[in-house]
Structure 1
Amino acid sequence: MDLAHALAAGLGAGGAALVGGYLLQRTRRTETGAVVAARSDWDLAEMLVTDGVLTEATPQARRLLDCRRDERLGWRDIRAALEPSFGPLPDAPPRSPVILQALDDPQTLLRLTPEDAELRMTITTPPTGSGDLLRYRTDQRELAQLRRVVTRAPMPIWQTDADRRVVWSNAGFADLCAQAGLPDHSVPPFAILPDIGEEYHVTRSSIGSRAENSQAWFEVQSYRLPDGWLHYAQSIDAVIHAEIAQRNFLQTLTRIFAHLPIALAVFDRDRRLVLFNPALVDLTGLAADFLSARPNLLSFFDMLREKRMMPEPKDYGGWRDTLRDVIAAASTDQYIETWNLASGLTYRVTGRPHPDGGVAFLFEDITAEISLTRRFRQEIEVTQAVLDSLDDAVAVFSQLGVLSFCNAAYRDMWGGDPDGSLADTDIADASRLWQAGCDPSPIWPDLRDFVLTLRDRAGWDAELTRQDGQTLTLRAEPLVGGSTMVRFSGPVGRPGASLAESRQARA
């Protein structure tokens, strides 16, 4: 913004110096020391207009009009060059003498003197000292530099008067008008209406590009001047496209989250709620208008506590400190807790870091999962208790031949605790243990094949003799899902098919 002010101030000061310099006349000192104005053709700004066309002009006059020696300007061009310094001129060359004062210097005069069909125009100025001349030359160099800077500025710059008409603009503004399809550069393509008391105004607006059939977006910054406004336009197409993409992405996420059974609450870096889905209303019982008001994180958890949708803290005074630890843990992706509510529901609450310093909390109702787990655990405990109550030693192997569980009689008979071991016990390990504790028998390879086979199977019995002389009956029975139960009983085993009969049934 400092560069913008410097450009505006520099242009104004340079322009004034240039116009004043055009009107300057050199001075010379007489022998008595008095300063008088030299009136040579080089110093005099005088021009002759014949039938409304410039026919003669001194070098100073041509510098003021910014025209070549052989160029013939019309009255309209002469008026446009002189009106910024002397104010409105007549629409046509006057037929009677007229004297006009410069707007910013009453001692500088423009004399319009009709002479038959001609009009002589003479500009007289007060004497000028050498200091003013040197200052003028310095300002000329600065003005040339500022002109180059403004001409090459990558943004449109223009100035409007009190009537909102363009009185000055750079090349970027001309390109902007061409893009908007406006041949008249005196009217800006944007409707900028600052308030009366404003010194600075920002406007976002767009123009249609006829060539590309698209919209070009600009942010216009306007600064008040004594006689109007100075405007700077900057392209913000990238910003607009990013905002549209972000809004579309957010809408897509909202539609996706709307169908999720997991409640979602996203807080920004200021810890205010910026996104939630309908499941949050369903699971927590919080009012939608409360959530839409973007509460902060502490208010959100306070409302959860009031609704009894979170475990009641033992010390609520220390709960705020605990909550800060929760937020810190969630910001580092290290927060996950299970909330057992007084209503019997069970929620899993997970905290995850969100981009740009935010944090997201997910609330999942795992009541059914917890109930199923508890019921399954209870069934396992009952099954284990039933097996432990049996006198027979029982071992169950999975379809892959891994020992799933065994009962107390098995542990007493064969020693050790396979369930408490970190390493899995498979049928090969177990059969080696059994084989080592019994007299030689040909059933062990068949037993291992029976446990690992994927074909239809039929249960079978075999008689074994332990090395201590005890007689055992081994019973191998297929179970649901490809599992196998191996049972060892006393001398009077459960009636069943022999190994040979089982082989014959499988064959």
Structure 2
Amino acid sequence: MSGVIVAMRRTLLSCTSLARNGLISLGGTLASIAPASAGDSSLLDAISAHLHLNRQEFAVLTTALALLGFSVVAAILLMRTRLRAARGEARLRAGIADLQAQADRFRALLFAEPQILIAWPAGDNRPQISGDIALLMPQEAPQRILAFGTWLPPEPALQMDHAVDALREHGEGFLLNLTTSNGRIIEALGRAIGGQAIVRIRDLGGLRRELAESNLRYRTLLEETELLRNFAAAAPWPIWAKSAQGDLRYANAAYAKATEAAGVADAIHRNLELLESDQREEVSRALNDNSAFTARLPIVVGGARRVYDVHALNLGSGSAGIAIDAGEATTLREQLVRMAEAHRRTLDQLSSGVAVFDGQRRLAFYNDSYRRLWDLDRAFLDSNPDDSSVLDRLRAARKLPEQPDFRAWKVKLHEAYRAVEPEKDSWYLPDGRALSVVTTPNPEGGVTYLFDDVTESLDLARRFDGLIRVQRETLDNLTEAVAVFGSNGRAQLFNPAFAKMWKLSADALREQPHIETVEAWCRPLFDDADIWQTIREAITRIENRVEVPLKLERRDGSVLDCMTMPLPDGATMLTFQDITDTENVERALRERNEALEAADQMKVDFVHHVSYELRSPLTTIIGFAHFLSDPVTGPLMPKQAEYLGYITASTNALLAIINNILDLATIDAGAMSLNIGSIDIRKTIEAAAEGIQDRLATDRIQLKVDVDPNIGSFVGDERRVVQVLYNLLANAVGFSPQDGTIGLSAKRTEHSVIFAVTDSGPGIPPDVKDKVFDWFESHSHGSRHRGAGLGLSLVKSFVELHGGKVDVNSIVGKGTTVTCNFPIDQAAHRNAAE
């Protein structure tokens, strides 16, 4: 910039020099021609002639010279202006540097202590925030400081928000001492300065903090003092305060009125006294001894003696007192005493026990019925015992209802002291009495108990209600038709069965129709005039009332058994019982019994026939088969030996079937008896397993036995138990696949021995499971052996004969488990069954 100014300055100097030289030359020329042209008429013509120019050329030259002079003058002025601007810019730069230094000093001084400045320029809603933001929140969120609720409690935050709005909108300044959410005490100052709204927030510490707290306490105390002074001034009771020397320092309007002063100032100036001299001395003595005085004193006010409750306190630097008019309270108390005495005399005449407890839960009144009800000592009651003491004494004498938690019961009872409405309860005492207890809260505090002995009334009501309910429920649930007719011949009671049996309307019967009307309704079903005459006479007869049994055969084919029963109150009860089914059933049972007897005889005959016709020849065949297989009879050809083996196996199987049938028939006929004895459980399992070894080997099936070596023994028929286990194992082998596994386990419990046989066969479908124990039911699906279907039937029969039970648990596709539960002691089982 300075180089440009220097170049411009040099250019202007050159132009100025040239212009000055040109003007001098022009001036000399004009001077030389001036005398010659002095006599001419025109100076311009002379100059034009001297310069050898015409008038037009001379005018152009003159204009050019004028323009040149103006340019020179303008250039000179421009140069001087720019020089002054350069000097002004230098001064401004120096001033700005000085202001920046001063601003830095002021900023350092301003933020020498932790504080935050928030400034809102005029017309701009974006505030400028500077200072130690960490004073209130993290540095990375300075704009969050305007959300006052993030660092101030709700009420101070709202106060701050309203103050800032008033500052920005109306320029109203503020000064607030606030406590942040983390307990820091701060000062918030708001001012409108230079068109900006500025808020300064700084931490108060040291003396400033103490001063702020003192100001807060001062304002609080000032408000409280003003409130108390206003209350004392407006109170209708005389209130005063005296110095330590006894001079009156404060009095309210009621005090001035009571002392007949012209005003409060007059009463203080004249030191007027409300109390008499002896009363003041009594107050002084009490204040010197106890620092407090309370008494009911007579005071003359307005020429009349009235009673006041006087309260005075010793305040150290003086005393204060108040006098409350107690005249009305005294009158009311006297009236209350008279009323209470009248009530006492009235309550003493009541049969109900009455006890009144005051607000301190002490017995204030009782009547003689209360004392006799609980049989309490009069001296104890006259000592005004509290409620808990009375209850404790009654409990010790076992005169209160038995409670699992007496303390909780007593607390619930004493809730009456805080209740608003009366409560009613019933107490059932250990001696059989029933009491109705009413607890009524008293308006002045305390509770009134009312006790009534309702034992007899409750018993009568209970009996009556019970009889009515029993009668109604009995009648409604009887299958017999019942109707009760009064001595006037009208229907009083009936049950639904009566209306249904005779096809009558229940609504019509509720109208209590006469027996003749009921007879007319029933004649379509039964029209025997003699029997209806007998029924009418049984209902309306006055003497010789006896039971009359009748049998009615109605037109619909039903048979009814009727009975007229005279009742003690003169009524008559009619009962109708439909015996049609009974007679039919009796006839059917008689026929069935005859059929069953015939079937039993046929079964016995069949058993005997099988025993004689089949078993004997089969035994002979088995004997000859064994004889032929004996080497003594001679050698057999291989084919003969093979055929003989088939014969032996078939005859053995047939013999087993016959024996099973005989056993089942014997059990079913009740002729089977057990050979009871001690059974070694392990030996029994080994014997049953030995019987199926050949079938296990043939089908390559493995038997796994799970028995505790110390399982011991139990009482039962060993042969039948072996037979049960053999049939279960044979059944399991038949349903298990080749190369499979079956299991036999036994465990002992306290009262039983449990055998379980498990196979891995196809399982039993649910629809077949309930039939596996039936005779000749053979579930052959998945079995390689077709049996007669008697094995599981025998198992169930023998186990139940021992007093046990059999359970089958089967899952289709996974196998079956049959569990047999035998009781350990057969003798105990038989005794229990008997």
The TM-score, its normalising length taken from structure 2, stands at 0.28
The TM-score, its normalising length taken from structure 1, stands at 0.43
Greater percentage in helix: 2
**Bigger RCO of structures 1 and 2 (CA < 8 A, at least 6 apart):** 1
Which structure would you say has the larger Rg? 2
